[in-house]
Structure 1
Amino acid sequence: MTTRAAYDEIADWYEHEFLGPGDSIGVDASLRALLDPGRGPCLEVCCGTGVHARTVRELGYTPVGVDLSAGMLRYATGRLPVARADACRLPVATGSVPVVLSMMAHTDLPDYPAVLAEIARVLAPGGVFVHVGVHPCFCGGFADRSDPDAVVVRRGYLDGRWTTESWTDRGVRDKVGAVHYPLPVLLNAVHDAGLRVRRFVESGGEVPTVLSFRATGAG
């Protein structure tokens, strides 16, 4: 379950086929709803191909990205300054970054609680963390979303396991797999990292596909 190798293999597909025009599930809209305009560096953990850098700049920040996949970073380098690094060991000084983002990345990470602790470490006192991710209640190997009017949630929500099971062959999970974090596990990890949640946003339809939140660090 090595995210680096898997995403290296699909980087071209991800850039040219998976990322379509528009904002069909509200990822960009959620980021804009949760991150107020400001100044200073904004670190995106697991930045992938760097597609969110434009929005970050429009909000007034200077985007910087970190990712483990060299294949994804080939595309990101044209969009923002990047470093290849493990999200559990960020090459960033403690308390130095006013804003950190995690954009549709947490299900790629075998130990997201450890990543959250690292995010809390690098956040400046009172800094802002924005998480935009797959909705843990309605998306996962346990959910069949082939009929948007009747999403079927089967057994498996509480398993918290890695899987390639997917209702579609046009997504990421069937190609590289994904880790499922039930909602209490996700929110408890945020709390245990010392981050305080301030606001939530759901997007992606009447049965949402995305759950996002803004949190602040200590201080």
Structure 2
Amino acid sequence: MAPAAYDAIADWYEQEFLGGRDDSDPIGIDQALRDLLGPGSGTCLEIGCGTGVHAATVRSLGRTPVGVDLSAGMLRHARGRLPVARGDAERVPVRSGSLGSVIAVMVHTDMPGYPAVLREAARVLRPRGVFVHVGVHPCFCGGFADRADPAAVVIRRGYADGHWTKASWTDQGVRDKVGASHWPLPALLNAFLDAGLTLERFTEGGEPTPAVLAVRARKPRESAG
């Protein structure tokens, strides 16, 4: 496989971007994952697991985390946290209908083919299996949004464009380094439906303007006929 965009920043991501953070969950990523995934058992696949920082939360819910990511650099840090495989999110090395749960946490903007990723999640889930998406909020995060003042987020033109960009309000984050794909809210939610997933619950995180939108979806039961 060709080098992934995150390979070049994997050490910075682990040691500085994540290493300098405490456990306060300021924008509600962990809380959203806990609320929407919930307690369970069996293997939970994380698509785009990165350095594996969400594995502990998955374990605390009674599930067994495994991860897949395109970046060998990120997986170097993940291997101490969960079993991992290097692979394309649009073609995960997992048998169809074999899993009870799949998650994707803060990665959909890294995946220009996210509708295909959702189809893969639906493929590997067994009927009534759960998929949890936790991502940056489409309406308030992106190249069109200036979050320099958290009390007054400025939304400029560009929300409806649905484009890839390295534009960012800060040079201390990830997006100015690797870029991001933007999905307006209708395009994002419609991609779940197009993948054959049933939307079930939603939550937002971050104050006073949400920075996170999370979705729980489910693979429908197989039809009797």
Q: State TM-score, norm by structure 1.
A: 0.98
Q: Which residue matches 1:163?
A: 165
In structure 2, C-alpha distance between the alignment counterparts of 1:77 and 1:88, rounded to whole Å? 21
Aligned residue for 2:185?
Answer: 183
Match of 2:133 among 127, 131, 134: 131
User: CA offsets per residue over residues 130-176 of structure 1, 9 Å max, x none?
Assistant: 00000000000000010111110000001110000000011110000
> Per-residue displacement from partner, 1:116-140 (whole Å, max 9, x unpaired)?
0111000011000000000000000
Secondary structure, counterpart of 1:147 in structure 2: coil
How far residue 5 of structure 1 moved from its aligned partner, in angstroms, is 2.6
Q: How does 1:28-177 map to 2 (within 5 A)?
A: 28-177=30-179
Aligned to 1:21: 22
Q: Secondary structure at the residue paired with 2:160?
A: coil
Work out the percentage of aligned pairs sharing the same amino acid.
68
Q: CA deviation at 1:3?
A: 9.6
Q: Partners of 2:197 and 2:3 in 1: how far apart? A: 27
CA contact (8 A) 1:3 1:176 kept: no
* Structure 2 SS opposite 1:94: coil
Report how far residue 35 of structure 1 moved.
1.2
Q: What is the CA deviation profile of residues 154-202 of structure 1, one whole-angstrom value per residue up to 9, with x for unaligned ones?
A: 0000111000000001111000000000000000000000111111010
Distance 1:116 1:215 in 2: 10
Partner Cα separation in structure 2 for residue 49 and residue 190 of structure 1: 25
Distance 1:178 1:166 in 2: 9
Say which SS state the counterpart of residue 49 (structure 2) adopts. Answer: coil
CA distance in 1, matches of 2:182, 2:113: 11
The structure 1 segments of at least 4 consecutive aligned residues displaced by more than 6 Å after TM superposition are none
**Residues 178 and 4 (structure 1), Cα distance of their counterparts in 2 relative to 1, 3 Å cut:** farther
Cα separation, 1, equivalents of 2:133 and 2:65: 16
Structure 2 residue runs without a partner (length 5+): none
Instruction: Check the 8 A contact 1:105/1:133 in 2, yes or no.
Output: yes
Separation (CA, whole Å) in 1 of partners of 2:45 and 2:120: 12
RMSD: 1.2
Measured against aligned partners, the alpha-carbon deviations of 1:2-57 in whole angstroms (never above 9, x if no partner) come to 99532000000110111112211110011011112111000000000000000111
Corresponding residue SS for 1:125: strand
Distance 1:25 1:149 in 2: 14
